[in-house]
Amino acid sequence: MTDLTNLTVAEIRDGFRDGEFSAREVTEAFSANIAAAKTLNAFIVETPDAALAAADAADAARASGALKPLSGVPIGMKDLFCTQGTQTTAASHILEGFVPQYESTVSAKLWSAGAGMLGKLNMDQFAMGSSNETSAFGNVVSPWKAADGKALTPGGSSGGSSSAIAARLCPAATGTDTGGSIRQPASFTGISGIKPTYGRCSRWGIVAFASSLDQAGAMARTVRDNAILLENMAGFDPKDSTSLDLPVPQWEAGLSSDLRGKKVGIPKEYRPDGLNPEIAALWDKGVAWLKDAGAEIVDVSLPHTQYALPTYYIIAPAEASSNLARYDGVRYGQRVLPDGAGLQDMYAATRAAGFGDEVKRRIMIGTYVLSAGFYDAYYTQACKVRTLIARDFEQAFTQCDLLLTPTAPSAAFALGEKQADPLAMYLNDVFTVPASLAGLPAMSLPGGLDSAGLPLGLQIIGRPLDEQGVLNASLALEERAGFTARAEKWW
Amino acid sequence: MTTTSSYRIQGATGEWEVVIGLEVHAQITTQSKLFSGAATAFGAEPNTQVSLVDAAMPGMLPVPNRECIAQAVRTGMALNAQINRYSRFDRKNYFYADLPQGYQISQLYHPIVGEGEIEVTLDEKNPESARKTIGIERLHVEQDAGKLMHDQHPTRSYVDLNRSGVALMEIVSRPDMRSPAEAGAYLRKLRTILRYVGSCDGNMEEGSMRADVNVSVRRPGEELGTRTETKNVNSVRFVMAAIEQEASRQVDVLESGGRIIQETRLFDPDKMETRSMRSKEDAHDYRYFPDPDLLPLELEDAFLEECRASLPELPDAKRHRYENALGLSAYNAAVLTAEAETARWFEALVAESAKAAGKSEADVAKAAANWLLSELFGALNRLGKTLDTSPVNPAQGAELLGLIADGTISGTIAKQVFEIMLDTGDPAGKIVEERGLKQTSDTGAIDAAVAKILADNADKVEQYKAGKEALFGFFVGQTMKAMQGKANPQVVNEVLRKALG
Amino acid sequence: MSIDRDTVKKVAGLARIAVTDDEAQALVPELNNILGWVEQLGEVDVSGVEPMTAVIPNHLRLRDDVVTDGNVRDRVLANAPQAEHGFFAVPKVIE
Ligand SMILES: [Mg+2]
Ligand SMILES: [Zn+2]
């Protein structure tokens, strides 16, 4: 019998429907892989029973002919999504032991589509990080290894998701992307992931990092799987004021790798001096593949690209400093009450003990840029530059339908390598942050391996609401890249 | 007419003028909270009217309540204020146990309502009393905080989030008031307007309306002094007392060579004085920024028109109409319009009276006003009741007034009938019928009564005829008494005049 | 614009994060590094540019005024570190 954990979401769904295997068999296979992969530290909480319950329901549904879109498919849930009755921590000590009494809209949609939950995936604390090293529950390890045998980061913040998918611990997972947190880990681990248009997925029940940037998305091994998952995550939610009141397109049904009539822009600002030549070479290959699929290639300019990261590192911390004010030890999570401490001392002690260094750093930056006397110079200025960055894209999209860029400036780096230098870490998101600031749909997919044998990703960015265009171009690339490499099992 | 208040504080070194501005927090009358579907009713068990949004659980998001927005707009319209089609919600960041989110959602940079004004009178019962216009700087919508209880446990405070997230309007006046009396008049007038509009019940005891009082003093005509802000004062009387006390405290400080510190103070109603709130003196830096969970609020024409169309006639317009169209005295018009409930009751009474009598409202309004203000209010006062709990409704009052107007009963009998109505709840007509209280115009019976009285009082008849005309009233009284009050007074007068020559 | 240890402590105070003097000192170069880097935004000409308000054009929806929530005290208090008599409990606050 084939190894069920090598199957894609589409293959599991269809094979299960056709009676080739039961949902229980699928779930047991993945749960066994999870149990054997503790070294990767991809999960904060494992929920094999929940997964089995969903599988048994799927098996029963198949018997009665009442299958749902994701019946039989077990997935991983990033620990940023509140799950009723299952601890949700955002990988922070400050939420340790927090058991939500509610289910996030996105996870609820997935469960009602028949999916089962294998567990809560590790991540960078409060989604702040690009290497998974800020998790309070220990860093996730990538299944990929450096040539010298060093342990690698799976990227972040959705690093538990990327590692688990790449290591066949789950066929797909949810991620969230604030500045690249789906795309960069996907790129680092040789999988694909899509961040939809801001407002496509409800933010209700997702622990907030930066409200104007946070967006849930899908992660899986194929473009088709991403389409399937995203279709069952997206949709209008009256509980989220920024949710888009639009029908969810049938993205899977709309998949087509025929790009004739499409124009793809190549933004020159994404090719800075000193761009890793292997990444530049992959990008050129991507151009050739898109041409081969019928697309016309045009050169475009996004002149404010260099300002995207500093803009992001004002806006995201500012919003975070306020969003994280609710973690105060009063209503949930950790409380630290030194002897004789008053209320305000309790807050300060709780937050000092509960938040990790990177979270504190960003809260401090955010507090500073919003404080009296600095607000206009930092925050207002950043919001204006953000307008200019969004305008750059609008302008570019008058000349093309999609953009092709690399996903990250490098392949996965070694754990510990960039931890001492926050700024060097922030530069990881240089190619992903601009689309986040503009709220655009964007996807990363594996394009090939570098000379060290590590995966490199390509990114497709689309117009607002054009997830279909993004998926289709990605599919065309996927077909031509023929990426089948996987990490050799060592864990 | 605008006047300058002559209110002055006599200090040891001369006269001081007081400058007052008020920030009023008024709870918007709604079923549910500003950003969540939890209830707002007063007095519920702790933490029962709390949603996961109000408790600021991770990942919870605000969704604004249309009614809160509409009520704020309607109130702005009633204040003749500029309505801003574009407004935004901002976060005001600070840490306190009654503030679960760690920020209050408010409106700093783009409030929903801009400049407006209120005309006040120092003594609304006196039509001659001076009028003054107080400027409104802005009105914005924001969330209320929860409540902390300090007296339930020796070492702990308890947090109740029932109020957390309830919608408030913050109405900020210009520093246009110059005396405690002006501040009191402003607050009363503002409360009246809110009640007319129906946007706030104005119930200060339950905390649905409270004022932050900004006070400074200066030598008359000089620059503004440093102000203090006394927080959350919850009655008109306390506001006036807080101003008086705080102003004289400031004068004392200044005259003894000190400086006023810009600070937040608290009013202690037991001692009737203000004191510094040092615990909240922690350097305020609220780090306001637009709430990224919410989009800008853009009001459409249709919404604004709906708000305008649903506005009731407001107190000033009503007062003018009562005077000009209904012919009421300025005093009566002022008293009848001072409370929305009084005006509502009065208008129902007038409408019923006019309908029953087939007359115009102007024809019946005066009698209705007089009866309401003297007879009904007198009775309610005696019974400890209000118009809301009145045992007699406007239709029943109108029936009684109709019986007087068409001559069925006299004013004297009417008082008697009204008392019986209050006791029994029976309608006036039934009481008059059953108890035989109809007045008589039967000249035969009146002639007989008059003849008997004149015969019994021959001496007084002599005196009258000799020129002591004041005795006419005596004969009327005697006749009415003999007729048990049921004689038509006009007929009695005619018969007496004839008989007395 | 460079910040010193006192500024770090002031900001930490505003953010209610307890820091020791040493921790504050350690944060000085880190925060200055980041702030110095983001300050390059100052060179962008933003004259006539409005700050972004809605990421994707969208308008604020308003909900009807009906009670749809609440009466879930058990769920509200379920995760509280200290809850008594239906309240959240905190160290005594002196006003
Ligand atoms: Mg105030
Ligand atoms: Zn306020």
Domain assignment present for B178: yes
Residue A421 has a pLDDT of 87
Q: Indicate whether A262 pLDDT > 70.
A: yes
Q: What is the pLDDT of residue B127?
A: 67
Cα–Cα distance, A153 to A131 (Å, whole number) = 5
Structural domain boundaries, residue B491: 443-499
CB atoms C60 and B298 under 8 Å = yes
What is the distance in angstroms between the Cα of A184 and the nearest Cα belonging to chain C? 21
Spatial distance between the Cα atoms of A229 and B237, rounded to a whole number of angstroms: 63
Count of domains observed in chain B: 3
Q: Do strands A215-220 and A455-462 pair parallel, antiparallel, or not at all (unpaired)? A: unpaired
What is the greatest pairwise CA distance in chain C? 58
From the list C16, C58, C73, which residue is nearest B48 (CB)?
C73
Q: What is the pLDDT of residue B5?
A: 62
What CA–CA distance (Å, rounded) separates A128 from A413?
A: 17
B144 Cα–ligand 2 center, Å: 8
Task: Measure the CA angle with vertex B449, ends B443 and B453; round to 5°.
Answer: 140
**CA of C43 to nearest chain B CA: how many angstroms apart?**
23
Options A157, A158, A202, A436, the catalytic residue: A157
Let me know: does B335 contact B125? Beta carbons within 8 Å: yes
- CA-to-CA distance for A352 and A94, rounded, in angstroms? 9
Residue B334 and residue B226 share a domain: no
Structure confidence at residue B123 (pLDDT): 77
* Cα torsion A170, A176, A179, A183: sign: positive
Q: Does C20 touch chain A (CB under 8 A)?
A: no
Q: pLDDT digits over A214-237, tens only?
A: 999 999 999 999 999 999 999 999
Tokens of A471: 């998926």
The amino acid at B430:
K
Q: Which of C19, C33, C38 to mutate to test the interface with A (most CBs of A within 10 A)?
A: C38
Give the Å distance between the CA of B25 and the centre of ligand 2: 6
| The two three-digit tokens of residue A88, written as one number | 């949700």
Only one residue has tokens 């004013």, namely B411
Read off the tokens for A75.
Answer: 């997935």
Residues B374, B235, single domain; the answer is no
Closest-approach residue (CA) in chain B for C75: B52
Is A436 a catalytic site residue? no
B426 and B451, same domain (yes or no)? no
Q: Which of B91, B289, B294, B297 to mutate to test the interface with A (most CBs of A within 10 A)?
A: B289
Instruction: Look at residue B285 and tell me if it is in a domain.
Output: no
Nearest CA in chain C to A214: C55
Q: Which chains touch A (3 or more CB pairs under 8 A)?
A: B, C
Mutate to test the interface with A, among B99, B103, B281, B287 (most CBs of A within 10 A): B287
Q: What is the pLDDT of residue A193?
A: 98
Tokens of B14: 């001369």
CA-nearest of A433, A366, A355 to A124 is A355
B385 shares a domain with B344: yes
CATH, residue B454 = 1.10.10.410
Closest chain B residue to C54 measured between Cα atoms?
B295
Inter-residue contact A77 to A207 (CB < 8 Å): no
Answer whether the bond into residue B235 is a cis peptide, omega within 30°.
no
Does residue B77 fall inside a structural domain?
yes
- Whole-number average pLDDT of chain A: 97
Cα–Cα distance measured from residue A274 to residue B427, given in angstroms and rounded to the nearest whole number: 98
Spot the catalytic one: A161, A181, A436, A444: A181
Is A195 a known active-site residue?
no
Ligand 1 centre from B22 Cα, in Å? 9
Domain A4-261+412-417+437-481 part of CATH 3.90.1300.10: yes
- The pLDDT assigned to A1 comes to 59
Per CB-CB distance under 8 Å, the chain A contacts of C39 are: 310
Query: Which chain B residues are Cβ-neighbours of A81 within 8 angstroms?
Result: 59
On whether residue B299 sits in a domain, the answer given is no
Q: Per-residue pLDDT tens for A6-27?
A: 999 999 999 999 999 999 999 9
Give B29 Cα–ligand 2 centroid separation in angstroms.
Answer: 17
Quick one: pLDDT band at residue C81, thresholds 50, 70, 90?
A: very high
**Residue in C64, C90, C91 closest to B66 by CB:** C64
String of DSSP letters for B119-159:
EEES-TT-TTS-EEEEEEEEEEEEEPP-EEE-SSSSSEEEE
pLDDT tens, residue order, chain B (501 aa): 344 568 999 999 999 999 999 999 999 999 999 999 999 999 999 999 999 999 999 999 999 999 999 999 999 999 999 999 999 999 999 999 999 999 999 999 999 999 999 999 887 667 677 889 999 999 999 999 999 999 999 999 999 999 999 999 999 999 999 999 999 999 999 999 999 999 999 998 888 999 999 999 999 989 999 999 999 999 999 999 999 999 999 999 999 999 999 999 999 989 988 998 865 545 679 999 999 999 999 999 999 999 999 999 999 999 999 999 999 999 999 999 988 999 999 999 999 999 988 999 999 999 999 999 999 999 999 999 999 999 999 999 999 999 998 888 888 889 999 999 999 999 999 999 888 888 777 778 888 888 888 889 889 888 988 888 888 889 888 888 888 877 888 888 888 888 887
Q: Taking a contact as any Cβ pair under 8 Å apart, which residues of chain B between 362 and 421 contact chain A?
A: none
Catalytic residue among A78, A120, A195, A262: A78
> Can you tell me the distance from the alpha carbon of A248 to that of A235, in angstroms, rounded to the nearest whole number?
6
C63 touches chain B (CB under 8 A): yes
Strands A455-462 and B156-160: unpaired
Query: Across the interface, do B36 and C69 touch by the CB < 8 Å criterion?
Result: yes
Q: In what order do the strands lie in the sheet with B147-149?
A: B147-149, B156-160, C87-91, C83-84
Give the 3-state secondary structure percentages of chain B, helix then strand then coil, rounded to 5. 40, 20, 40
User: Ligand 2 centre and the CA of A462: distance in Å?
Assistant: 43
Count Cα neighbours of A269 within 13 Å in the Cβ-side half-sphere: 18
pLDDT (0 to 100) of residue B6: 81
Q: Give the tens place of pLDDT for each residue, A274-327.
A: 899 999 999 999 999 999 999 999 999 999 999 999 999 999 999 999 999 999
In a shared domain, residues B382 and B461 = no
Going from N- to C-terminal start, the domains of chain A cover: 4-261+412-417+437-481
Alpha helices in chain C (DSSP H): 5-14, 21-38, 73-77
Is residue B142 situated within a structural domain?
yes
Percent of chain A at pLDDT above 70?
100
Residues B22, B119: one domain?
yes
CB contacts < 8 A, A to C, total: 165
Are residues B244 and B208 part of one domain?
A: yes
Cβ <8 Å between B290 and C65: no
- The ligand placed nearest to the CA atom of residue B92 is 2
Chains with 3 or more CB pairs under 8 A to chain C: A, B
Residue whose pair of structure tokens reads 């004191």 in the numeric block? B275
**Cα B52 to averaged position of ligand 2 atoms, centre (Å):** 23
The DSSP bridge pattern shows strands C83-84 and B297-298 to be unpaired
C66 touches chain A (CB under 8 A): no
Smallest CA–CA distance from C57 into chain B, residue: B295
In chain C, domain spans = 5-42
Q: Determine contact, residues A67/A61, Cβ cutoff 8 Å.
A: yes
Give the Cβ contact number of residue A49 at 10 Å: 10
- Partners of B141 in beta bridges: B169
Percent with pLDDT over 90 in chain A = 96
Say how many Å lie between the first and final Cα of chain B, rounded: 55
C50 Cβ under 8 Å from any chain B Cβ: no
Ligand approaching nearest to the C-alpha of B227: 1
Distances, alpha carbon A138 to alpha carbons A133, B242, B338, in Å:
7, 58, 68
Q: How many CB atoms lie within 10 A of CB A387?
A: 20
* A28-38: pLDDT as tens digits: 999 999 999 99
Query: Which of A102, A241, A372 is facing B52, going by the closest CB pair?
Result: A102
Indicate whether B370 and B250 sit together in one domain: no
Q: Judge if B402 and B475 occupy the same domain.
A: no
State the nearest Cα–Cα gap between A12 and chain B, in angstroms. Answer: 32
Q: Which of C19, C39, C56 to mutate to test the interface with A (most CBs of A within 10 A)?
A: C56
Is B306 in CB contact (< 8 Å) with chain C?
no
Lowest mean pLDDT among A137-146, A333-342, B4-13: B4-13
Q: Closest to A364 (Cβ–Cβ): which among C31, C42, C50?
A: C31
CATH topology of domain C5-42: Histone, subunit A (1.10.20)
Residue A164 CB partners (closer than 8 Å, separation 6+)? A34, A37, A40, A42, A43, A76, A121, A170, A173
Q: What's residue B410's pLDDT?
A: 82
A22 is catalytic: no
